[in-house]
Amino acid sequence: MLSLVLQRKFVIMEGPQTYEPLTPEGLASRLGGLEVLRKCLGGVADQWQVEEIGDGNLNLVFLVRGTKGAAIVKQALPYIRLVGDSWPLPLNRAFFEYHALIRQAERDPGSVPEVLYFDENQAMIVMEFLDDHAILRSILIAGAHVNNLGTRLGQFIARTAFRGSDLALPIVERKSDTKLFLDNHALCNITESLVFTDPYHDAELNHHNPAVDGVVTDLRQNIKLKAEAQALLTKFVAHSETMLHGDLHTGSVMCTEDSIRVIDPEFATYGPMGFDLGMMLANLIMAYISQPAHRNSKDLASYQDWILDVIKDLVSAFNEEFSVLWLSERRGVLFPHSLFEDQQHDSSLPLQAKQREIWEDALGFCGIEMHRRILTLAHNADFESIEDATLRGELEAQNLKVGARLIIERQSIEDVDAFLAAIQITKVTG
């Protein structure tokens, strides 16, 4: 099927080189001359073993192995892989992914795969192969543990949020980065429609389990909910505050038992600080809510408790790290020391207000993400892999209701304990 779409149908002239999708058969001859790849893989290019391992919605991902090592070659396609050529998508998403990866590496060293090479014309990034790592979503479905997961994710989100913003960056750099990433409008537009808007009406590519029809009708008739979802979208489009990963779900994190890396920031844009936090919380909650379908009754409670601990660690690491950076790296144009510390005036009041705003936004974005993963085009395996249709319907319904509650009540959910209480309103057992 895939090889059909790869047949030279998309040969696009862009600048000096001709864009052409890579194939497993042609990759070695096309990239064999790349010094950086030869060094990393060793041996001669015609002995490289190439496998297309992409399981994402958008791009080609090749694992290339040589005698000495391995590397990942990721290439954008001029359309959405999940849908096909009826939905074109610009190749420049690879450019934004590359720019986001190098900034994330600088702002939180060790958090992302190292970029080895970037070819803008071919929309191709060559990067470090995360050997032995698995996608976090599969880890959570399988019931495995990752040490330090919540803490590391919380630090990543805080560091990238803080260090990409006017709290930290020199004003010229922040403005030129904002300009650069706001050009990623095609991918932002997917988020704007598919994530924020489509759950709340009968959009063309939507699909959902008929077992949740009743809940879906209620959601779509709830004017307050739709208004709040649009208020959150307004924040997403109009609050260009920091460089976001933009698609930070459990499928964008790869782990071993002791290592945690974030991948796939092609949706990077400038947006509100609570967005990545809310997306990640939503995906952890969906892992939690779907557990009764994946665990036996002996392991269910302890594994769900572990996920709750991960969520608590994440929120507390985010807040701690953000506070540390507020005190130690606040060198941007916002909340300058000249107004606070230099006058022996405490800056913890504006810090708390900022953290409160981020938390409230995050809860809202969290609810939206919980809705779109059940109702629009791109569902997630946490629910999609549940074979028992009745149980799946019950869990999806619970997920939808919790999402609505988070969106509507976000201003009164004070802290992580109140948040965790809200996600446990309806218990469904396996």
Per CB under 5 A, the list member of 56, 113, 271, 278 interacting with Mg ion is 56
Site string for ligand ADP, 72-111 (x = CB under 6 A): x-x-------------------------------------
CB of residue 267 to ligand SR1, shortest distance in Å? 6
| Interacting span for ligand ADP (CB under 6 A) from 124-132, 150-158, 162-170, 302-310 | 124-132
The residues, ordered by sequence, that sit 6+ positions from 396 with a Cβ below 8 Å of its Cβ are: 208, 209, 211, 212, 374, 383
H-type alpha helices, 239-296: 274-290
- List, as own/partner pairs, every contact residues 75-81 make where C-beta atoms lie below 8 angstroms and the sequence separation is at least 24, other chains included: 75/21, 75/22, 75/122, 75/123, 75/124, 75/125, 76/123, 76/124, 76/266, 77/5, 77/10, 77/21, 78/10, 78/12, 78/19, 79/10, 81/54, 81/56, 81/57
CB of residue 340 to ligand ADP, shortest distance in Å? 41
CB of residue 55 to ligand SR1, shortest distance in Å? 11
CB of residue 232 to ligand SR1, shortest distance in Å? 15
Question: Three-class SS of residue 419?
Answer: helix
Query: HSE-up of 26 (CA within 13 Å, CB side)?
Result: 9
Residue 401 neighbours by CB distance under 10 Å: 17
Contacts with ligand SR1 by CB under 6 A lie at: 56-57, 80, 82, 190, 194-195, 247, 377-378
- Residue 127's binding partner out of ligand ADP, Mg ion, ligand SR1, none, with CB under 5 to 8 Å set by partner kind: ligand ADP
Per CB under 6 A, the list member of 95, 129, 181, 236 interacting with ligand ADP is 129
Site string for ligand ADP, 16-55 (x = CB under 6 A): -------------------------------------xxx
- 77 vs 88: CA distance, rounded Å: 9
The closest residue (CB) to Mg ion is 264
Residue 399 neighbours by CB distance under 10 Å: 27
Q: Does 66 bind ligand ADP (CB under 6 A)?
A: no
The residues of the shown chain that bind ligand ADP, judged by CB under 6 A, are: 53-59, 61, 72, 74, 113, 127-130, 135, 263-264, 266
